[in-house]
Amino acid sequence: MTQVIDRRLNGRNKSAVNRQRFIRRFKAQIKRAVTDAVSGRSIVDIDNGEKINIPARDMSEPVFQHGTGGRREAVHPGNTDFVKGDRVKRPPDAAGGQGGKASDSGGGEDDFAFQLSREEFLELFFEDLALPDLVKTQLAKLVDFKSVRAGHTSDGVPTNINVVRSLRGALARRIALRGPHMKRLREVNAELTALQPATGEDDEEPDTRALELEEEVRHLKQRIESIPFIDTFDLRYNNRIKQPKPTTQALMFCLMDVSGSMDAVRKDIAKRFFILLYLFLKRNYEHIEVVFVRHHTSAKEVDEEEFFHSRETGGTVVSSALQLMHEIIRDRYPSTEWNIYAAQASDGDNWDNDSTKCRDLLMSKIMPCLQYFAYVEITPDAHQSLWQEYERVAGAYGNFAMQQIEDPQDIYPVFRELFRKRVT
């Protein structure tokens, strides 16, 4: 009897292959369920999976089965309506629906519940989105290293010893050192064999030459046995070196107006949009750095905690944030080595005559360095001068996009519109 042991590395997810096959097979239904689920969930739950329901009718497949015709006899316990010989009408098709879904026609059925993991949920959600000009220049600076094998060395720690290579070297050494002695030993034994017939067994004194040869045989065997089985010279260790590993890297600028007109609700909408963009970038780049720039009348680079929670009052000068952004790129993040993305959130308010300066900064200094610039204006009101100037930038640069957000439910549609795949 042949026994087969399955040692495939599936871990606890032993049905991972079947799970992926199921997702591919019913992808349209699952994506539709994901879209419905997204509209009702918060961005703070983006790291969680999602339990979705797929209507059972969407999973039905054509099958062969016996019809319900023919003559049959059946006994129904507790029957009070019919007696033997009565003719029972055939029930209409799909009557008496299954499951707990209420229906006035008897056609209810249970939905199939399916739990998506975080990775599967994000994969389906971001599938039809794309980052414009994903990698425009070179792969990133070689800042990451990976350990790779680089042959063997005679020095090392015991944990890195290569047993096979060490024993192979020891065997070769023993063969090389024993070779001359083994050759001489064969010659001596042959000479001894030749001398034995000439030396009578009744001789009182053995032949002097034979004694010398026997002594030489003992000496040669002693030399051969004295060769050590393994020596420190034979030890070989696995050698590993640090090799530079090219990684794609991106820089994400988060620009936000924190003036008095940006209330807590608008800041929360901006935060959700920034988090969503960061998660999207993480799926496309191995290394991401985030720079937070907040501004009112003046701009300041801050950490994430101060960016989202610090309170400021005063007017709005948007150009101060753009100017600081340009200085940071120039001093720390050359565009030839970084894929730079920027997202700006504002309510549209700006100081008089500053919107023109913002347009000039973007068109002359910032946009040539960027992969993509996304501007979201969080306001239900009419657009002001900043939006109008930004429209001119969008007309000149294809990697500049702008959308309006009125309430939290607009975050996902706006994000998908900003980063949807363009048909080329």
**Euclidean distance between CA atoms 255 and 345, whole angstroms:** 6
Chain mean pLDDT for the chain: 76
CB 157 within 8 A of CB 237: yes
- Whether the per-residue pLDDT at 294 is higher than 70: the answer is yes
pTM above 0.75, yes or no: no
Confidence grade of residue 143 (pLDDT, cut at 50, 70, 90): low
Closest CA to 329 of 253, 395, 402: 253
Top-confidence range, 116-120, 196-200, 387-391: 387-391
Residues 54/29, Cβ–Cβ less than 8 Å: yes
- The answer to whether the beta carbons of residues 30 and 59 sit under 8 Å apart is no
Assess if CATH 3.30.70.100 describes domain 249-418. Answer: no
pLDDT number for residue 2: 57
Q: Which residues pair with 345 in a beta bridge?
A: 256, 376
pLDDT tens digits for range 167-213: 888 898 888 888 888 888 888 888 888 877 654 555 555 678 888 88
Find the helix packing angle between 163-195 and 208-225, rounded to 10°: 170
Residue 101 has pLDDT above 70, yes or no: no
Predicted confidence (pLDDT) per residue in 345-360, tens digit: 998 888 878 999 999 9
pLDDT band at residue 141 under the 50/70/90 scheme: very low
Reply yes or no on whether the pLDDT at 159 is more than 80.
yes
CB-CB contact of 288 with 250 (8 Å): yes
Averaged over 84-107, what is the pLDDT?
58
Distance, CA of 326 to CA of 293 (rounded, Å):
11
Domains of the chain, by residue range, sit at 13-58+111-127, 158-239, 249-418
